[in-house]
Amino acid sequence: MSSPNDAVIVAGARLPIGRKGGTLAEFDGVQLGARAIKALIDNPSINALLNDEAITDVIMGNTLSHYGNPARVAALSAGLPVNTPGLTIDRQCGSGINAVTLAGKLVAFEGGVYIAGGMESMTNEPFQLSRAKRAYDSTPPSFLRRELSTAEVGDPTMGITAENLAEKYSISREEQDDFALRSQENYAKAKAQGKYSHFLIPTETSSHGTVEHDEHPRPNTNAEKLAALRPAFISSGTVTAGNASGINDGAAAVCIVSADKAMHHDLNPLAHIGESSVVGVDPNYMGIGPVPAIQSVLKQAGRSISDYEFIEINEAFASQALACAKELDITVDNINPLGGAIAHGHPIAATGTVLIQKTITELSERGGGRAIVSACIGGGQGIATEIIVEEK
């Protein structure tokens, strides 16, 4: 049963997802985030709400930036008044989910009007350089690696974690390529049905005109093309550019209020935000993170996985999504019905909010129901949340 204090999503917007160096390359992460926020607050459906009430906070995920508190800068860049605060979340690939769940918890406990989402420009990721240890040191600076764990525990690259899971769960190259092809095909089918147009906002650029579609999908790929790709991380490996997510740019945002406030302003909730969980796992097998996170959500909700229409598992890698499906004892038919990040791309901190938006779309198309949105997180974490669309 829902209650007046339940957190609900009443509007959303996202930009097309661009490839690295592609259609959105001229914008850094904050500029992308500002465009998503501006499109959201310009949504006519929430005009009355925003005319009557100030935005309580803007919570945005961002992981690759030179800004201090990018969410605040994005809010100001979107034209929000200077008395609008901002909070930036860096939970890596889980940031876009975490921003939404945090805003939902704050709404449930304190009320208010929140904007939450994520933004990322992997094209414009700044370099990090070491500084001199003493004055007048002539030693040239060196590039610093973004460490997500400790050397003692293990801090492998994301591709190696995917190879680790493929080996541990005996996931073959063919299985991974089949899953990747399914992602591309499901995306193409969903796009043709208009399921990717509900939240998508055309974006004006100086170099590519108006960008209206995700740039990353490869609708012409096939099993033969995928099989021809070389392993990307180790010569004897099975993870390739074709069965892994992309390097991308993008931004997405949603507006969250209480069910009572939505009713007061005659807003039809798009979805309720249910239980959520964040967990830690071994960084060497970080891709398995969604499993304990999903299990925690099921325990909190007092439900079994069969109670959900589908499970959204962010496709960082095919091997990772398949390993999660094996551990959860579900088939691939139960996950990612509209395709995933292997097809549409993975702009790190923005992806989670994109997954939530497409989950809302699919549940609405089915006449309502429940789903779980989840992601693995670099450094060894997992995150999951319930998304509930009222049955019609």
| Active site amino acids | 93, 346, 376
- Helices in 193-258 by DSSP H: which ranges? 223-227
Q: Distance between CA 162 and CA 286 in Å, rounded? A: 8
Q: Are 24 and 244 in contact (CB under 8 A)?
A: no
Residue count of the chain: 392
DSSP state of 200: B
Q: Pairing relation of β-strands 18-19 and 86-89? A: unpaired
For 32, residues 6+ apart whose C-beta sits below 8 A from its C-beta are 15, 24, 119, 120, 121, 249, 250, 251, 350
Query: What are the CA-CA distances from residue 12 to residues 207, 260, 361 (Å)?
Result: 26, 19, 11
Helix (H, G, I), strand (E, B) or coil at 352: helix
| 374: enclosing H helix or E strand | strand 369-377
Q: Distance between CA 292 and CA 314 in Å, rounded? A: 15
Q: How many CA atoms lie within 13 A of 357 on its CB side?
A: 28
